[in-house]
Amino acid sequence: MNSEGLFVAFCTILDKEVGRFLRIWAQTIVPPAVSMALYFMIFGHLIGPRIGEMGGFTYMQFIAPGLIMMSIINNAYANVVSSFFGAKFQKHLEEMLVAPIPNWIILAGYVGGGVARGLAVGLVVSGIALLFTHLHVRHFLVVIAVVLLTSVLFSLAGLINAIYARKFDDISIIPTFVLTPLIYLGGVFYSINLLPDFWQAVSRANPVLYMVNAFRYGLLGTSDVDVTMALLVITAFVVALTAFALLLLERGTGIKT
């Protein structure tokens, strides 16, 4: 297939993926918007004033970047894991496997779908955040880079989860027992400076901490970690997961007999 054909194949997968999550918007866009509105209401509006300032900002302002990032992470992951596993389970993934599409195009198409949903939900949640507080973008390029890299990273993670999954339970185990704890302990609701030294060090092993803080730096100009280091960590994870996902697709792990 020539480069034009590859581009058409990529756009086809992307179009199918975006069409899928838009078609079921009540399941994909609305629930995160509702739950984030509740977070802003309860933690920001009701409890926040009693907590006071954090890092020089109101608590509502402080948690807003973390909640936006949390919705991007969850939705980028959920989109790819459910779509890829669904295609595998219903066997229509075979439509792609019998076609002359290189694995990197399949990967790019699915990741593109995950990024699109992550961005769509991120924008909706940002809109909700603006109903509760003021947000000003301090470092536009950092915001763009962190959002894109994070949504790519968790789309890749979702794809790897779907490749290994054999039953529907397998696609909910990682989000429940790995992703959620990492996000909640990744500095969404607090600054790690509040923790004892030992737990600060433990927190630094959590990759989500770097994403949340880099995004918070982009919006508020404050961060618990060095932003350059954060971008490097996220990029390193993206490179490693891309290589691993391609290896799995090349081997046909979980998708070929």
Partner 1 sequence: MVRPVARPDPSRMINALEIRGLEKTYANGFRALKGIDLHVPNGDFLALLGPNGAGKSTTIGIISSLVRKSAGTVSVFGVDLDQDPQKAKSLLGIVPQELNFSMFETCLDILVHQAGYYGIRRRVALERAERYLMQLGLWEKRNDQSRTLSGGLKRRLMIARALVHEPQMLILDEPTAGVDVELRRSMWSFLLDINNRGTTIVLTTHYLEEAESLCRNIAIIDKGQIIESTSMKSLLAKLNTHTFIMDLDRPYDSLPLVHGYSLHAIDPTTVEVELTKEQDMNELFLKLTESNVRIRSMRNKSNRLEELFIRLVESNKLN
Residues near partner 1 (CB under 8 A) are 1-2, 4-6, 8-9, 11-13, 15-16, 23, 87, 90-92, 94-102, 252, 256-257
Q: DSSP letter string over 121-185?
A: HHHHHHHHHHHHS----S-HHHHHHHHHHHHHHHHHHHHHHHHH--STTHHHHHIIIIIHHHHHT
Q: Which residue lies nearer to partner 1 by CB, 16 or 45?
A: 16
As a whole number of angstroms, the distance between CA 193 and CA 47 comes to 20
Shortest Å distance, C-beta 31 to partner 1: 19
Token representation of residue 137 = 């973008």
Shortest Å distance, C-beta 106 to partner 1: 9
Shortest Å distance, C-beta 165 to partner 1: 18
Closest to 101 in 3D by CA, of 12, 230, 211, 168: 12
Shortest Å distance, C-beta 174 to partner 1: 24
- Would you give the DSSP letter of residue 54? B
Backbone φ and ψ of 52, nearest 5°: 90, -160
Shortest Å distance, C-beta 97 to partner 1: 6
As a whole number of angstroms, the distance between CA 51 and CA 58 comes to 9
